[in-house]
Structure 1
Amino acid sequence: MKMRFLVRTCLIVLSLLPAVSTQRDGSSVVGSDQPLIASPGEDVILPCHITPSLSAVDMEVRWYRENFNIPVHLYEDQSDRTDDQDSDYRGRTALSIVRLEEGILSLKLRNLRPSDSGVYSCYADDGVWNGQGKTELIVRALGTQPSISMDSTQGEQTRLVCRSEGWSPEPEVIWRDRDGNDVTSLSSTTVQRDSQGLLSVSSYIKIKQQSNVFSCLVRSKTPKPDWESKLHISSDFFPGVSGWMVAFFLTLALSIGAIPLLVIQWRRMDAMERKLEPMGK
């Protein structure tokens, strides 16, 4: 009798295993298909969940970046494990136990730093089934208004420098001449990182006598406002005829040439008014 009961029990358990396996195999871990953009010092929640919804309270939940074995956050045996956690993230991460019951694996990351930018992997494992999703984080800082100045004189050419600081990630620098032409290919740019992880850019370009107005655009690679500065180089700096003088004399010549035409037109209108005077009486 006991043997029959044991056999039946085993058969029932074995019959349930495929159903449990199917439930796990049909689930997946989903991150974010769009990058998250935040600023230094802010808090952010990196989204991740199991679909269809499945409790992750008894699972291993691991967030990491490049190295699987150095987690940004590790939840295992129903508790947070900080022994192997990346030291840069200690005290700055949190998972919600209540949300884990709903299959929500989202990670809260506090006090963002520029170095936090990157792709984060969200991994869940129950010993039989596992899944992984990814979320990209961009910690964006808009730098200062760029400044343009004379850097040095080398022979007959002068070098301008455009400087801006406090950027994250690295911005794009675009130079344009007085006619709006892109002359960035003629420039060279250097980038330095400060103690806070923010970037400072210095872009250099050699200018020729024929051009006397330059603009420097420092543009964020994320969808945020741009900064632009312009520099007008005085005609006293370069010998010879400057562009504004050419424009002035050209305008003056056109004005003088138009005077006879205006006089002729005025005389015609005066003669026409005299002819119409008798008709109006």
Structure 2
Amino acid sequence: MKMGFLGRTCLIVLSLLPAVSTETGRWTVVGSDQPVIAEPGDDVILPCHISSRVSAVDMEVRWFRDAFEKPVHLYRFQKNLLGTQDRAYQGRTALSPEALQTGDLSLHLRNLQPSDRGVYTCVADDRRQYEEGQTEVIVAALGTQPSISMDSTQGEQTRLVCRSEGWDPEPEVIWRDRDGNDVTSLSNTTMLRVSQGLCSVSSYIKIKQQSNVFSCLVRSKTPKPDWESKLHISSEYHMFVD
């Protein structure tokens, strides 16, 4: 009777072992569901953490953007291994040793550059489990205040041109008449990428001579301020710009 009881006991214990092992080893890596939005020159933190707050001190932690083998930052064997780091990030990245103890894998990135925009992948590997999360970086540059000029006069129509430069990402352009009506559908807008990946915008609209006030609003698609300029046209075609 004792042997039978022991046999049944062993079977019960063995059947529980896989479930216990799976449960204790379960964790995931969580990036950010909201993009990190900042301007060139800013210092930012790219959020990422282990869901169960397991210590990452003894793990491999890797941040990369375009290629796994060209890390933005690499931590392994409790050291920062920067020999294989992408040159564009040298001297600009850091992980907090204290934060790693609580599973916080957030990357500190200094002196943000326009070329830094993109999706970053955060990896944690404890040799038994590999998990990753992602965080997007948007480098938002607010361009110059738009300038409006009279480009040409043809018959009863006048062509007005609105120009602004230094934007990232591409802005939105809105034209309004003297009554505040949106007349953007009557305009033609061109976006051009120039130095450092920034965007230059040029937009023109043809108007009738009797119209005397037009405004051009250049608006960022990210939560940043807007730039607006107005052009007053008198009956003698003297122009006044606000």
Band the TM-score falls in, shorter-chain normalisation: 0.7 to 0.9
The reply to whether residue 142 of structure 1 matches residue 173 of structure 2 is: no
Match of 1:45 in 2: 45
Structure ranking higher in helix proportion: 1
SS of alignment partner, residue 99 of structure 1: helix
Q: How many angstroms apart in 2 are the aligned matches of 1:165 and 1:43? A: 24
What pairs up with 1:1-40 in 2 under 5 angstroms?
A: 19-25=20-26, 27-40=27-40
1:59 aligns with 2:59: yes
Matches within 5 A, 1:142-161: 142-154=142-154, 156-161=156-161
Q: In structure 2, give the amino acid aligned to 1:226.
A: D
Q: For structure 2, list consecutive stretches of 5 or more residues without a partner in the other structure.
A: 1-15
CA distance in 1, matches of 2:107, 2:236: 61
Per the alignment, residue 279 of structure 1 pairs with: none
CA drift of 1:44 comes to 0.7
Aligned to 1:116: 116
1:49 Cα shift? 0.9
Shift of 1:70: 2.9
In 2: Cα distance, 1:120 partner to 1:154 partner: 51
Structure of greater Rg: 1
Structure 1 length as normaliser, TM-score?
0.71
List alignment gaps of at least 5 residues for structure 1: 1-14, 239-281
Q: Which is worse superposed, 215-224 or 161-170?
A: 161-170
Deviations, residues 86-129 of structure 1 (Å, cap 9, x unaligned): 22222211112232122110100000112222222211111211
- The alignment status of 1:133 with 2:133, answered yes or no, reads yes
CA distance in 2, matches of 1:94, 1:194: 31
SS at match of 2:115: helix
CA contact (8 A) 1:30 1:48 kept: yes
Aligned amino acid, residue 23 of structure 1: T
In structure 2, the partner of 1:213 is 213
Aligned ranges 1:52-91 → 2 under 5 Å:
52-91=52-91
Supply the distance in 1 between the matched residues of 2:229 and 2:131 (Cα, whole angstroms): 49
| Correspondence 1:210-249 to 2 at 5 A | 210-237=210-237
SS of the equivalent of 2:25 reads helix
For the aligned residues, what is the CA RMSD?
2.4
* Highest RCO, 1 vs 2 (Cα 8 Å, sep ≥ 6): 2
CA drift at 1:20: 4.7
Hey, what's the Cα distance between the residues in 2 that align with 1:96 and 1:88?
A: 21
Paired residues, number: 224
Q: Secondary structure at the match of 2:214?
A: strand
Contact residue 210 and residue 235 of structure 2 kept, 8 A: no
How far apart, CA to CA, are the structure 1 residues paired with 2:22 and 2:58? Answer: 16
